[in-house]
Structure 1
Amino acid sequence: MMATAAVEPGQLRVGFVGAGRMAEAIAQGLVRAGKVKNQHVLASAPSDRNLCRFRTLGCQTTHSNREVLQNCSLVFFATKPHVLPSVLAEVAPVVTAEHILVSVAAGISLSILEELLPSGARVLRVSPNLPCVVQEGAMVMARGRCVGSSEAQLLQTLLEACGQCQEVPEAFLDIHTGLSGSGVAFVCTFSEALAEGAVKMGMPSALALRLTAQTLLGTAKMLLQNDQHPAQLRTDVCTPGGTTIHGLHALERGGLRAATMSAVEAATRRARELNRK
């Protein structure tokens, strides 16, 4: 097997142990962006239930986890967290120094992963979020002790096919769970409330929901493309005595800012508790 860091992304053989929605989203992003050829992707799962979606992408499938390791140099472990230790024990005998192993499972630290795998294994953790499904994910990654800059850069480049990916200290992964993982639900709750406000004032629900989604999309693009602080964009929308400042006053009276900060804090604390179990 060729050392992974020396392989051009287009020639890379990528494996997925676990074939759920997040694994499919990452594979789909890699294939559609031309980062990896579909015939160079191999996914494993106990049953055909999820593997059929990989076959639809033109990827290879198997029921053998070891086969994935034996044929792929970059392998994503996308199983449920409680299943991962037994899966790693199963594949450990075929792990080599040339593998790059990426865990997508929440709650299992790099130190634990390194304990469960052969000495010197190159291990990284990635925390994705659901918008990876539409290639607009917010992802962070952290590297283990044996991972060099070239391997980390390779993984980051590949994952950018699924959205934005930043390398961070491992401690930030739990915060990312509270911010970007759980944040999808927080944004959806705010979106629903925003649309319901329009419905209250007489707008049909379907139209209100569509306009709300487009408003969020456009705002996010402006923040990303212009690298603006949200406060600056908010100020640009606010005119003295206008509609926006009256609406913002109502949000402040309702405690939106404090409630949102508390939501991220609560989700982060829960992620940390799960990591200690």
Structure 2
Amino acid sequence: MNIEPKNLGIIGIGNMGEAIIKGLIEFAKLNPSNLHVSDIDPSKLNAVRDHYQVQIHSNNAELLKNVEIIIIAVKPQQIKALLKEISNNLSHIELIISIAAGIETNYIEKLIEREIPVIRVMPNICATVNAAVSALSKGKYMTAQAFKIAKVIFESIGPVVEVNEELMDVVTGLSGSGPAYIFLAIEALSDAGVLLGLPRDVSTILATQTTLGAAKMVLETGEHPATLKNKVTSPGGTTIRGLHVLEQLNFRAALIDAVKAATERSKELRTS
């Protein structure tokens, strides 16, 4: 399924908004003439126009005249003001997609006061390299056709899963924030190599490729991570010694608590 000749608008060009633009044009092969973007920062608009040849608009009302589908990619704290601003310009809109952390579909539906299909999506920054994973949850007025369109859009940047909306805050804490946890782990592994004498570039390649390879093994073998871990862990060997230290330092609990804290913050964003 292809979303053309639908016209798609993206409101907000942060890191995630630009990652989606890149995915749609470079991987989904969306014609840039069908992609419209708006932002309060003229320099961002000019940059994405020059790089991707998309259509840019300095105000949201102008963008809305040209599209049938919109992706809201502003910060959660800006959602209320944005929806009030655009609510009178949505009569022809066929689908609203929100990637704002913590914002529920019923909140959007209530503010726009229209029975338009709304879907909440949590992608992640790995969309930049076509390796995101996006979770989708349907709003009250979602149709089969609108859901298919949303899937096509986000499959352009990686795999998609559907979850019940009450679990979307958990998704935010796990896969939405997750790349940062992994970046930190890679940085720490690289630092360890440097501390012990490896050149920085070599250490970073080793840490990064090890992380990538381990993830690929989980995905491609279908085996439980614990099973794969045990395959690397020889009796009395180096790996079990390292794992023992990680367990002593509550590495597992630290990751669990990080996801829990980020999940709680996602919930807080609804009231901040």
TM bucket by the smaller chain? over 0.9
Residues 1:92 and 2:87 aligned together: yes
Q: 1:201 to 1:257 in 2, by over 3 A?
A: same
**Which has the higher mean CA deviation after the structures are superposed, 45-54 or 137-146?**
45-54
What's the TM-score once normalised by structure 1's chain length?
A: 0.91
Aligned partner of 2:28 among 31, 34, 53: 34
Q: For this pair of structures, how many residues does the alignment match?
A: 271
What is the aligned-residue identity percentage?
34
Residues 1:144 and 2:146 aligned together: no
Q: Deviations over 1:63-100 (max 9, x none)?
A: 12122222111110112222222222222112126520
8 Å Cα contact 1:95/1:118 also seen in 2:
no
1:28 Cα offset (Å): 0.8
**Which has the higher mean CA deviation after the structures are superposed, 158-167 or 195-204?**
195-204
Superposition map of 1:61-210 within 5 A: 61-96=56-91, 98-210=93-205
Q: Deviations over 1:194-214 (max 9, x none)?
A: 222222322122211121011
Return 5+ residue gaps in structure 2 as ranges.
Answer: none
Residue 222 of structure 1 corresponds to 217
- Distance between the aligned counterparts of 1:152 and 1:57, measured in 2? 26
Aligned partner of 1:24 among 13, 18, 21: 18
1:146 Cα offset (Å): 0.3
Q: Deviations over 1:155-187 (max 9, x none)?
A: 112211112221111122211121122222222
1:149 Cα offset (Å): 2.5
Aligned partner of 1:231 among 226, 229, 244: 226
- Distance between the aligned counterparts of 2:95 and 2:242, measured in 1? 50
Return 5+ residue gaps in structure 1 as ranges.
Answer: 1-6
SS at match of 2:161: strand
- Distance between the aligned counterparts of 2:79 and 2:266, measured in 1? 17
What's the TM-score once normalised by structure 2's chain length?
A: 0.93
SS at match of 2:133: strand
8 Å Cα contact 1:68/1:75 also seen in 2:
no
- Distance between the aligned counterparts of 1:91 and 1:219, measured in 2? 45
Residue 271 of structure 2 corresponds to 276
Aligned partner of 1:256 among 247, 251, 254: 251
1:125 Cα offset (Å): 1.1
Residue 5 of structure 2 corresponds to 11
8 Å Cα contact 1:44/1:63 also seen in 2:
yes
- Distance between the aligned counterparts of 2:61 and 2:237, measured in 1? 63
Q: Deviations over 1:31-83 (max 9, x none)?
A: 11134211110111223211123212011111121222221111101122222
Pairwise CA RMSD: 1.8
- Distance between the aligned counterparts of 2:210 and 2:251, measured in 1? 18
1:215 Cα offset (Å): 0.9
